[in-house]
């Protein structure tokens, strides 16, 4: 289990969860399949198939949790065609026009009729709760999916005092400075990929890949008023990722060095491997996230 993306949230107050507390709270919101007339269902599932009915995996002071969503797939083309056919029959047989309000009612009836025969699409979103270090990391590239998981967690616990990190210095401005001043932040090494955006005018976007970013061409774009919105980085010879200006982390990967260490630690037992991977991920995020916030002037004090 290794997260591919990180959207992280900071606790605004001290919390102290236990496995027993979370398990009890989650049990009432565990995933159950859609009923015949439901479009979607969302709930908790075990982070690993070998965990039985346990919904919480604890490792290195962190709690790994996973939510699953089922969406019923009803193709819009099928709905629209059936609606069109029904409208044509009514207009022919009753010699009248079918107006929008009636069409919407008919459309709802068609969807309800098709739902029992619809295919299901399943998706999962995992998160790592690290109370002692004050953050939740969600494995998602989509803020809407992350908020959906946090909303479910909030319903389980009645309260969830978290917020997105707010830093003192603009990430876009600071990442642009990193390209102008090499080794400005020693822990973070710029790789050969970034995205630059024009802040005025039509907001032209330039994507750069496979090129040294400390070059005259990039400097010219920055001097012309463009700003970094995405930047590929390697941190502490341990992790590589694409950092976005909203502080979201995409394409998270362990470096070759860390991968070798993790492979040496891994055991044949799947839950032992899960424990090792979760502990390592927790350890690295405990180090990375504070340094990332500090690189942008630290968090805003309210």
CA distance 175 to 245: 8
pLDDT of residue 290: 96
Please tell me the number of Cα atoms within 13 Å of 96 on its side-chain side: 5
CA distance 114 to 79: 8
> Do residues 118 and 72 make contact, with C-beta atoms less than 8 angstroms apart?
yes
- The continuous run of DSSP H or E covering 20 comes out as helix 19-27
Residue whose C-alpha is closest to residue 138's, from 130, 126, 147, 148:
126
Q: In this model, does residue 266 exceed pLDDT 80? A: no
pTM confidence score: 0.88
| Other C-beta atoms lying within 10 Å of the C-beta of residue 134 | 17
pLDDT of residue 263: 79
pLDDT tens digits, one per residue of 174-209: 999 999 887 778 899 999 999 999 987 677 899 999
Instruction: Report which of residues 265 and 246 the model is more confident about.
Output: 246
Q: What is the 3-state secondary structure (H, E, C) of 168-190?
A: CCCHHHHHHHHHHCCCCCCCEEE
Q: End-to-end alpha-carbon separation of the chain, Å? A: 35
Q: In this model, does residue 267 exceed pLDDT 70? A: no
pLDDT tens digits, one per residue of 26-47: 999 999 999 888 889 999 999 9
The angle that helices 100-114 and 76-94 make with each other, rounded to 10 degrees, is 130
Residue percentage of the chain with pLDDT more than 90: 75
CA distance 26 to 58: 14
Average pLDDT on 257-282 reads 86
Residue whose C-alpha is closest to residue 285's, from 115, 64, 94:
64
CB burial string 276-297: b at 16+ within 10 A, e below: bbbebbbebbbbbbeebbebbe
Residues in the chain: 302
- Beta-ladder partners of 250: 242
pLDDT of residue 75: 86
pLDDT tens digits, one per residue of 201-225: 677 899 999 988 888 899 999 988 8
pLDDT of residue 182: 74
């Amino acid at each position: 289990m290794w997260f591919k993306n990180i959207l992280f949230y900071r606790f605004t107050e001290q919390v102290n969860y236990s496995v027993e507390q979370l398990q009890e709270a989650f049990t009432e919101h565990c995933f159950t399949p859609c009923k015949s007339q439901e479009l979607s269902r969302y709930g908790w599932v075990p982070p690993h198939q070998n965990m039985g009915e346990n919904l919480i995996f604890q490792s290195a002071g962190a709690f790994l949790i996973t939510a699953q969503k089922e969406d019923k797939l009803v193709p819009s083309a099928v709905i629209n065609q059936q609606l069109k056919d029904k409208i044509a029959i009514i207009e022919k047989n009753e010699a009248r026009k079918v107006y929008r309000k009636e069409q919407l009612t008919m459309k709802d009836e068609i969807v309800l009729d098709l739902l029992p025969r619809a295919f299901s699409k399943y998706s999962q979103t995992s998160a790592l709760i690290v109370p002692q270090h004050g953050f939740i990391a969600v494995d998602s590239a989509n803020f809407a999916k992350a908020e959906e998981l946090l909303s479910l967690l909030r319903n389980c616990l009645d309260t969830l005092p978290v917020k997105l990190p707010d830093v003192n210095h603009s990430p876009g401005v600071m990442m642009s400075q990193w390209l102008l001043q090499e080794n400005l932040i020693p822990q973070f090494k710029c790789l050969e990929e970034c995205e630059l955006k024009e802040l005025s005018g039509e907001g032209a976007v330039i994507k750069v890949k496979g090129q040294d970013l400390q070059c005259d061409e990039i400097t010219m774009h920055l001097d012309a008023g463009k700003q970094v919105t995405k930047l590929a980085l390697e941190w502490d010879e341990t992790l590589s990722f694409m950092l976005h200006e909203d502080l979201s982390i995409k394409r998270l990967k362990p470096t070759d060095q860390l991968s070798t260490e993790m492979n040496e630690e891994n055991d044949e037992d799947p839950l032992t491997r899960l424990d090792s991977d979760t502990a390592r991920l927790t350890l690295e995020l405990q180090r990375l996230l504070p340094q990332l916030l500090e690189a942008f002037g630290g968090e805003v004090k309210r």
